[in-house]
Structure 1
Amino acid sequence: MSTGGEMFFQLFLPVVVSLQLLPAVPSSWSCGISAVDMVTGSVLISTNAETPFRPASTVKAVTTLTALSTLGPSHVYHTTIQVDTLQNRIFLVGSGAPLLSIEDVTRAAMETAAALPPGTDWSLYLDPTALTGDSHLPGWDAADWNRTYCPPVEPLCIGDNILEIVVSSVSGVIRTFTYPPLPDLRLTEQVTTTNTRTSLVVTGGNWETGEPEMTISGTIQNGDIEVLYKPFAGAPGELARVLQEELEEWGVNCTYTGVQQADTGLYTTAVMYSDPLWIILGSMNKWSRNIVAEQVLRTVANNVTGESGSTRAGCDISGALLDSLVPGAQGWQLADGSGLSRLDLLTPEQLVAVFVSGAGSLEFGPEFLASFPVNGTDGTLSGRMRELPAGAFRGKTGSLNDTCTIAGILTTHSGRTVALAIFLQFPRGQIWRARAWQDEYIQGLYYTM
């Protein structure tokens, strides 16, 4: 039935639910909802549950389950420095590790310098062959490439491949500072001081050449300090050049020569260890870090196939997992591991099955659940559903400019545990209204189930 342009969906609930506690869905929106009792497996809600929608960042839940199923929660990335003493070659060998830091490279350079004989000239090579693929994926809006949530996917990364830029006009002198240090960064400054408000813009990236080029333009108020963040291109080469500089600081004469696959059986002088996978997934899900999701998905492909890990192969592996969870689902597809692609299509039923499988795993259930944000507490849910007790809902959010999704585990007022997914698509400009609707709906379920 509909009232005042709003319509109620028929909800199939084997419990008594007061419809007054469940908000109406605006008639201009498309909505899909699925909910399953985690204990009995009973379907509690099924509204367009088999219809594909754009899932946005809830795709990361699929990537999480795929990674834990194939790699295990304790998987650790090993980024190595390997040495060929016969031909005086040093190799920086990537493993697909997300979030490598400059501090990791500094320590590895010290350990390598200690292992090498002094007074020798070395050639430094980069081996990125663990992963392969484009830096920006099909369905990623090119207008987003210069935004912090859309950094390039690379076989070796420096943090999130995001450059921090600090512009200062303290004492009337314009100064610019950047981190992490990028040896080949070309930063063009077109900034002037003003007595009015600060207005700065950073553009660039040069994704075609893979070189870190940026331009800062605009005005900065006298005495002001402005901090900006932008994705940069060419992280693998920059990481190799940072290693070269660090080795030279420790007395090793070396020249970065380019890309070359390392031979087998070389001597490993240093290993850069990542955090365990379950911690990486927590960082990925709680703060919806797209680059981490893409690195993890390609790592899955590398480990499963034994070949350079690609997004396509990773999506095939995730797709096989989805087929095993919901046989016969129609019309869905995966184009990436983060959900940033507008080509991704999943059904609410599939997302619910992912959470039922992940949370119920005897092997990694606690790690799966711990990776997701908690209502009113942290991550992308820190400001949402604060009316509910902290921990009542744990799950993944997602949004594009016309899409709002949420999926996770709800523990209701009566103690019932429910796996839930809500997909909304709507005219652009209504994202905040959609989030509020989802929160109100989940709060209604909390009290009625």
Structure 2
Amino acid sequence: MKKLIVSLLLFTTTLFSQTDPFTTADDIDLLLKDDFFQGCQLAVDAYDLTAKEIIYRHNKKLLMRPASNMKILTTSTALYFLGSDFTFKTIIAHDGEIDDSVLVGNLYFIGGFDPDFTSEDLDTMIMQLKDEGIAKIEGNLYGDVSKMDSLYWGNGWMWDDDPATDFPYMTPLVINDAAVKVVVKPTTVGNKPEVSFIPDLFKPKFINNAVTVKGDSSDLAVTRDWLHNSDKIIVRDSVGIDDEPDTTAINLSRTNNYFLSLARATLEKHGITVKGKCDTSTAPEDVEVLIEHERPFSEVIVNLNKTSDNLSAEMTLRALAYQFNGKGASAKEGVKIIDSLITIVGLSQKDYRLVDGSGVSHYNLVTVELLNEILKYFYFEKEDLYQILYDSFPIGGVDGTLKGRMKEPPTYENVHAKTGTLSAVSSLAGYLTAKNGHMISFSINTQSFVGSARTARDFQDKICEILANIDD
């Protein structure tokens, strides 16, 4: 009789265990059985912020390259230590004296790490300068780049990524994303296409070896002589006569010269003549400030995270370094400030390797645990800053680097997350709201795969879908 009762209990337990629905962890575990993960690494950390419960963890302490998820560390650190009201300033100042309409002295453009400064901003400042009554500059035009060290590229950046605009040559005196746009327009069959530049006040040297051909069979290549560290633009191969004008953005290596050449051309456009030369020099302490252009970090962070702008991240890192260490700001000093935030959230900076602010470097090593702890800390401890961080992330299916993903519910218009992509690396970290109304933070990283990141992204999207469908 006892044997019968025990058998019935075992049968009943087995029956009910077979009919129990899959848990969230089971659903994610099932995904991870795909053959894709036999040859690559995956780490996941998901947390229910409302219930204060762990949802899922897999390889949470595995060190991986964050790619642009590094920007979460950079922007959260800037929000914490600089504040949302921090402003990037570009300054026009002068030494000497202004006699009637003549500046008997030098004009200084002092860089303040503004990553979004444009030719239009420069034009506005020059117009204000003209309104001050200045019509002639007897001295020189100087670019003051002393707030930053002389390292124009990040540690661990890949030399063969040049001249893509995602890998800008850095200076605190940025203009037009440190890049020029090359416009190539077909002319007549057999002849060279027309080449122009945006901004049109910039006149770089260029070689036009391209030819206009019949139809729309364009095979155009636009680059610069980056192997010789030259800003000479090279246009080659062919453009179809039926093609629309082609526009290609190219980074520039001599970014300070770029700014100063545009400054001089803009001054002359507005009738202000310059007698002297253009060069870089540190402004004396007693210069008189004439014009200031300010841009709030609350504006910069949106473009930085939504479009994953590397230049903005690197300028933000150096602004952090300058704020706490003064002139000659470096990535190394900026990383020390990020280390401070890591300590504040309860982890040890000794467990990670950080070398830049954008995640371009292949030397960075972090964990999904670290990224999720940052997200959790801002949610629980920094409500006002959390909202700014949350709003700066791309929205699934709507904008930024998530615009082409997550086009259907429950992730559409729901997931707010930062993407990251490097060769053999794909990451995603941020927030979403589950069907039960709970807010969830998560960090997912996949690396060491071959080929396109599309498969890794698809799995990230599926994990987000599973998390968003939690309804108990």
The question of a shared fold, defined as TM-score above 0.5 by the shorter chain, is answered with yes
Contact 1:278-1:368 at 8 Å conserved across structures? no
* 2:91 is equivalent to residue 80 of structure 1: yes
Whole-Å Cα distance in 1 between the matches of residues 225 and 375 of structure 2?
A: 37
Worse-matched range after superposition: 343-352 or 197-206: 197-206
Equivalent position amino acid for 2:364 in 1: D
* 1:194-209 mapped onto 2 (5 Å cutoff): 194-195=213-214, 197-204=217-224, 206=226
* Contact map agreement 1:203 1:216 (CA 8 A) in 2: yes
Shift of residue 426 of structure 1? 2.9
1:58 aligns with 2:74: no
- For 1:226 and 1:445, the matched residues in 2 are separated by 43
Alignment partner, residue 429 of structure 1: 451
One-letter code aligned to 1:159: N
Kindly name which structure, 1 or 2, has the bigger radius of gyration based on alpha carbons.
Answer: 2
Provide, for residues 215-264 of structure 1, a one-character-per-residue CA deviation record: whole Å limited to 9, x for no partner.
Answer: 11111112432222221222222212221222233333323341111112
1:148-163 paired onto structure 2 within 5 Å = 148-163=165-180
Cα displacement string for residues 105-131 of structure 1 (whole angstroms, at most 9, x for unaligned residues): 112122223335556522211101122
Distance 1:329 1:266, change over 3 A: closer
Corresponding position: 1:402 with 2:424: yes
**Is the aligned partner of 1:218 residue 2:229?**
no
The partner residue of 2:186 within 141, 160, 169 is: 169
Q: Which deviates more from structure 2 when the two are superposed, residues 173-182 or residues 59-68?
A: 173-182
| Candidates 417, 420, 442, aligned match of 1:420 | 442
- Amino acid of the structure 2 residue aligned with 1:82: A
Partner residue, 1:45? 56
CA deviation map 1:367-400 (0-9, x unaligned): 1111101111111111222222433211101011
Equivalent-residue separation in structure 2 for 1:299 and 1:208 (angstroms): 30
For 2:227 and 2:309, the matched residues in 1 are separated by 20
Equivalent of residue 354 in structure 1, options 363, 374, 390: 374
Consecutive unaligned residues in structure 1, runs of 5 or more: 1-14
* Partner SS state of residue 383, structure 2: coil
**AA matched with 2:32:** A
Q: 2:451 corresponds to which letter in structure 1?
A: G
Q: 2:397 aligns with which of 373, 376, 398?
A: 376
C-alpha change, 1:247 and 1:329, in structure 2 (3 Å) is closer
Cα deviation, 1:380-437, whole Å, max 9, x if unaligned, reads: 1112222224332111010112111110012111111111001111322041111001
3-state SS in 2 of match to 1:46: strand
Residues in 2 aligned to 1:331 and 1:317: alpha-carbon distance in whole angstroms: 16
CA contact (8 A) 1:171 1:223 kept: no
Q: Which amino acid aligns with 2:426?
A: C
Are 2:31 and 1:23 equivalent residues in the alignment?
yes
Percent of aligned positions that are identical:
24
Query: Is the aligned partner of 1:35 residue 2:46?
Result: yes
Match of 2:256 in 1: 236
DSSP-derived class of the 2:78 partner:
helix
- 1:235-314 to 2 correspondence within 5 Å? 235-254=255-274, 255-274=276-295, 276-314=296-334
Shift of 1:342: 0.6
Post-superposition shift, 1:141? 1.3
Q: Is the Cα contact below 8 Å between 2:24 and 2:55 reproduced in 1?
A: no
Contact 1:241-1:256 within 8 A present in 2 as well: no
Q: How does 1:54-133 map to 2 (within 5 A)?
A: 54-86=65-97, 88-116=105-133, 118=135, 121-133=138-150
Which structure is higher in helix share?
A: 2
CA contact (8 A) 1:122 1:253 kept: no
- Offset of residue 203 of structure 1: 2.4
Which shifted more, 20-29 or 65-74?
A: 20-29
Q: Which amino acid aligns with 2:359?
A: G
Classify the secondary structure of the residue corresponding to 2:174. coil
The answer on whether the counterparts of 1:121 and 1:252 sit within 8 Å (CA) in structure 2 is: no
Measure the CA separation in 2 of the matches of 1:152 and 1:306.
21
Asked if the contact 1:205–1:233 (Cα under 8 Å) also holds between the matched residues in 2, the reply is: no
Do 1:148 and 1:231's aligned partners in 2 also have CA atoms closer than 8 Å? yes
Normalising by structure 2, what TM-score?
A: 0.86
**Match for 2:362: what amino acid?**
R
